[in-house]
A and B are shown apart, each in its own frame.
Chain A
Amino acid sequence: MLEINNIHKAFHKNEVLKGVSIKVNKGDVVVILGPSGSGKTTLLRCINFLERADRGEIIFDNLRVDINTASSQDISRIRKRTAFVFQNYNLFNNKTALENVTEGLIVARKVPKFEAIEIAKRALNKVGMSDRIDYYPSKLSGGQQQRVSIARAIAVNPDVVLFDEPTSALDPELIGEVLGIMKQLASEGTAMVVVTHEMSFAQDVANHIVFMDDGVIVEEGHPKDVFSKPREERTKRFLSRILPYSDYDI
């Protein structure tokens, strides 16, 4: 469904992505792992043009976009098929929870208002925020804000949801509520690409693990294989640092 080919991106002279390709099928949960600075977040941001890659190609079914020649229509087409969940939620502070969700429907997708409100209420119900729809973001906890931002992402019915470290800014006791919702979405067949450090989520929910380091994909495969018998030295080292109780032959 979604294919990203040979993405290159440099900031000034620092090459962050050195030719990365990934494939996402319908219903896939792809988890991208890797040490900080490996380019995971940049890759995710390049997929919906929050960051413009220097070169590469994004293919969405029959929509093929060369990054160098992408027009603003191409970008808007891709953005309408994807949704993004940010590490810092980035809710619109001047809008209520409900308005945060309806905004993209009404303004960007021209959905009639009453219909947008129905869709938004359903999305907020799904993330367990029905009782807070009239609250402004400043009065919600981090976990609640992130749940609203997930509702905002799924309300537009995207083909794939991109999660950029969705739990990294949360207090430990709030992480569970967000991961729970992500698990539920995965079980319902929502395709997602997740950058995270939550290894339990990667092990239990992902059906494809991508391990990145230094701007390239070092290793990828089914979580069972990657976690139980990593092939590459760098993967082993990373996993043994993150999962201290595992013992890998290094």
Chain B
Amino acid sequence: MELNLDYLIKTFFLAITGIPTTLEITIVALLVATPISFFMAIYKIYNVKIIKQIITAYVSVIRGTPIVLQILIVYSLLPSLFNMAVKSMGWNWDVFSMNPIIYAYIVFSLNTIAGLSEVFRSALLTVNTGQLEAAHAIGMTTVQAYTRIVIPQALVVAMPNICNLTVNLIKGTSLAFMMTVKEITSIAKIEASFGYNYIESYIDIFLIYIIVCSITQLLFSLVEKHFRSYKSITKAS
């Protein structure tokens, strides 16, 4: 077996152009999921009836099915559903010409919501309720107590799990090629199919994900260090 080095290098730089798309899906999913999963965590902690059961059911459905299956379902079901809706509203808009990245946003957001809500819930529970009571006792509102006292501490606890989830999300977006989204994996695979250079393409993909995920982990550890400052003895020393 011989590696085509020229092809390998050329494709590496070509596949790199897929990084923005990969990051776009990741960031959109995180941005959509963060507020929703935060409130889901709060509803679950405060034991809001019915809503809590709906959330629990949602989380177990998402976590209990392979993401490949979710992609297949969303990608084969949603376009025709959208089309029906658009037709019934009488709009003149071609659903099937829509950028498929929209479906990637949807699948990965739904997934991230489920994962992140559990991360937030467990992190919020680590901050003892006494601090919330103390904040109430000195006249702070619940919102003030959460934004200034509870959430900053919960975030420190959640950071390693959020990092984990983000890295998994980045890797998971490689499945977006199934929805014809042009991200790292699909670009390299399409390139390989011309000259049957699959091994070279896979090596490229391999390297790119390692680089992207390592940088992500590094960034998270810096953020975590920053948040963790209150575990030191004094401020800024």
Chain A interfacial positions (CB closer than 8 Å to B): 48-50, 76, 79-80, 82-84, 86, 88, 90-96, 103-104, 107-109, 134-136, 138-139, 149, 152-153, 156
Contact = CB atoms under 8 A, between A and B. Distances in A.
Nearest to A108: B139
A86 B127 CA distance: 16
A84 B134 contact: yes
Given A107-B148, A108-B144, A134 B235 contact: yes
A108 B138 contact: yes
A83 B135 CA distance: 11
A134 B237 contact: yes
Given A104-B138, A107-B148, A108-B144, A50 B233 contact: no
Contacts of B136: 49-50, 79
B137 A50 contact: yes
Contacts of B237: 134
Interface centre among A50, A95, A107, A149 (most CB of B within 10 A): A107
A96 B230 CA distance: 8
Nearest to A156: B138
Contact of B149 (A88, A94, A139, A152): A94
A113 to B, nearest CB: 14
A4 B201 CA distance: 77
Nearest to A45: B133
Given A107-B148, A108-B139, A134 B234 contact: yes
B216 interface: no
A92 B131 contact: yes
B66 interface: no
B130 interface: yes
A109 B231 contact: no
Contacts of B232: 136, 139
A138 B133 CA distance: 19
Contacts of B115: none
B139 A90 contact: no
A88 B131 CA distance: 10
Contacts of A49: 136
B174 interface: no
Given A86-B133, A108-B144, A95 B230 contact: yes
Nearest to A79: B139
Contacts of B233: 135-136, 139
A135 B148 CA distance: 18
